[in-house]
Amino acid sequence: MGDNVILVGFMGAGKSSVGQLLARHLGRCFVETDDMITAREGRSIPEIFAERGEAHFRALEEETVRLLALKSGDVIATGGGLFCREGRPAALRALGTVVWLHADFDALYERARRAGERPMLAGRGRAEVEALYRAREPYYRQADLTVDTTSINPDQVATRVLLGLREKLSRVPLSPLGRGEGEGAR
Ligand code: S3P
């Protein structure tokens, strides 16, 4: 398994802010799949949606998932829909530890509406956005770790993620030589 830390979750989950904090704590590089897409396309996510449509954006996400295979040791924040396609949970879990930043829908909706321009919210009422969230939940549930972010700030979320990662690492079985998994005998 890869050694990236991959953040997934709905819009408003705090993937970008928590990802930056985590990367700083862990001394790792921080990467956002939306930034990979805008850098390659030379235009913003809202522009991509407006000019080429959602289907084109999803094709760019597919390409981005392939490029993620080149990453190691990074903290990666994914766009809210990237994890929610057939085969994606398995593909991303093969690249590292997948962490779902979970929150009550009400909290997510408020945060998502407050910050940034989000094409998936444009022209959709609250009920439609909630239906989208409910359809995505079964994918998010396939993460390795879940952290509830509902009423805590990004610093507190980052601390919880770090604790979760540490606990998960402590469960990695040791070989008879007492070495951790992946550190072959030398
Ligand atoms: C999307 C979420 C956005 C961005 C794009 C599509 C989605 O990322 O990838 O607008 O389908 O939920 P954030 O989750 O960072 O807002």
Q: What pLDDT is stored for residue 117 in this prediction?
A: 85
Token pair 């009400």 is found at: 106
Q: What are phi and psi of 170, to 5 degrees?
A: -70, -15
Could you tell which of 16, 18, 34 is best to mutate to test the pocket of ligand 1, judged by most ligand atoms within 8 Å of the CB? 34
- The whole-number pLDDT of residue 176 equals 55
- Which structure tokens are listed for 121? 């919210």
The atom of ligand 1 lying closest to the CA of 118 is 10
State the number of CA atoms in the 13 A half-sphere of 115 facing the CB: 12
In terms of Cα–Cα distance, which of 86, 100, 83 is closest to 144? 100
Average pLDDT over residues 17-45: 97
Question: Mean pLDDT over residues 108-136, rounded?
Answer: 93
- The percent of residues in the chain predicted with pLDDT above 90, rounded, is 85
Does residue 79's CB lie within 6 angstroms of at least one atom of ligand 1? yes
pLDDT higher than 60, residue 184: no
Of 174 and 115, the one with more pLDDT: 115
Confidence of residue 57 (pLDDT cuts 50, 70, 90): very high
Contacts of 48 (CB under 8 A, 6+ apart): 37, 38, 41, 56, 57, 60
pLDDT surpasses 60 at 4: yes
pTM of the model: 0.91
* pLDDT at residue 172, as a whole number: 64
Cα–Cα separations (whole angstroms), residue 74 to 20, 69, 98, 133, 167: 11, 11, 12, 27, 19
Which residue's alpha carbon is at the smallest distance from atom 4 of ligand 1? 79
* The pLDDT of residue 173: 64
Per-residue pLDDT, 178: 42
Cβ neighbours for 1, distance < 8 A, ≥ 6 positions apart? 93, 94, 95, 96
Is there an atom of ligand 1 within 6 Å of 96 CB? Answer: no
Q: What is the mean pLDDT of residues 133-154?
A: 97
In the predicted model, is pLDDT for residue 175 greater than 90?
Answer: no
In percent, how much of the chain has pLDDT > 70?
Answer: 92
pLDDT value at position 160?
Answer: 96
